[in-house]
Structure 1
């Protein structure tokens, strides 16, 4: 009985190790940062009623076998009375190991949703710091559901492919 438990325990340990090897974070880093305040100092004299525009973009590049760079790009444009108060952009990146044994759909989900979820807190903090250093009121971004964003992207691609097939037929 004790031998059976040791064998089962070893098998569970190997399965856990294989799952851990299926995905790993190698490095997280800030790839690019940009901040502009084109209407300073005049913008500081206006009543602060901001209109925030936010743009998110995720891009991944295969570096070598099983290794990918994922870049989350966040662009925040804040306008006051129609004038740009500031434009801040952060490219937060990570290098991730993703096993070839994963199905294509799983790999796409990892790179398109899971990795951006890991990168977002770093990008949010960097963006908030940039805005604060420029003496604008603090910018606190709400969490983003990258799983829902990714699912919407997949659905849009499927619709486009279906429309393309109808046009070709």
Structure 2
């Protein structure tokens, strides 16, 4: 039998007491679209198959004790051979309030939940830019930010392990 009161039991079923996660403001920080070959690209038969490349980056800036700006940068480039058909860039940002999290959980929230909250808006903006530029609609697939975060953690661990091995080797070489 539990010795917690119903009020305490109800609080533990939801979010732990004192934890806060909110998206306070959502905004586009920067947007760009270029079609360097227009209008010729629309009239000519393309010599090859278009290739799409997407680059994704994230940055976090602490603004106060519990306030963070998270920015998601997405660049989509479409090329045929070595010629760029279009380039679409969006910097989607949000102001988040995050309180009551231990440092490891805070890092995970900033690396998964925050960019996942921004991604649908950035994805819509990129799609609208490409279509407004006269190109066929392009729908970016959903991303697994938890998987991306886990890969980022593995890379950080490998770099730290490599740095520790590298510094140990240098020390041994100097002795």
* TM-score computed with the length of structure 2 as normaliser: 0.86
Corresponding residue of 1:33: 31
> Please, what is the CA RMSD of the aligned residues?
2.0
Whether 2:48 is the aligned partner of 1:52: answer no
Q: 1:2-17, aligned counterparts within 5 Å?
A: 7-8=5-6, 10-12=7-9, 14-15=11-12, 16=14
Q: CA deviation at 1:46?
A: 2.9
Q: Distance in 2 between matches of 1:67 and 1:132?
A: 35
Q: Distance in 2 between matches of 1:131 and 1:19?
A: 44
Q: 1:62-81, aligned counterparts within 5 Å?
A: 62-81=62-81
* TM-score computed with the length of structure 1 as normaliser: 0.88
1:105–1:150 distance in 2 versus 1, CA, 3 Å: same
Bigger share in helix: 1
Q: CA deviation at 1:20?
A: 7.8
Q: Distance in 2 between matches of 1:139 and 1:19?
A: 43
SS in 2 for 1:137: coil
Q: Which runs of 5+ in 2 are unaligned?
A: 169-175
**For this pair of structures, how many residues does the alignment match?**
163
Q: CA deviation at 1:121?
A: 0.5
Give the stretch that moved more between structures: 16-25 or 88-97. 16-25
Q: CA deviation at 1:81?
A: 3.1
Tell me if the contact between 1:70 and 1:111 (Cα under 8 Å) persists in the aligned partners: yes
Q: Distance in 2 between matches of 1:129 and 1:49?
A: 22
Q: CA deviation at 1:82?
A: 2.3
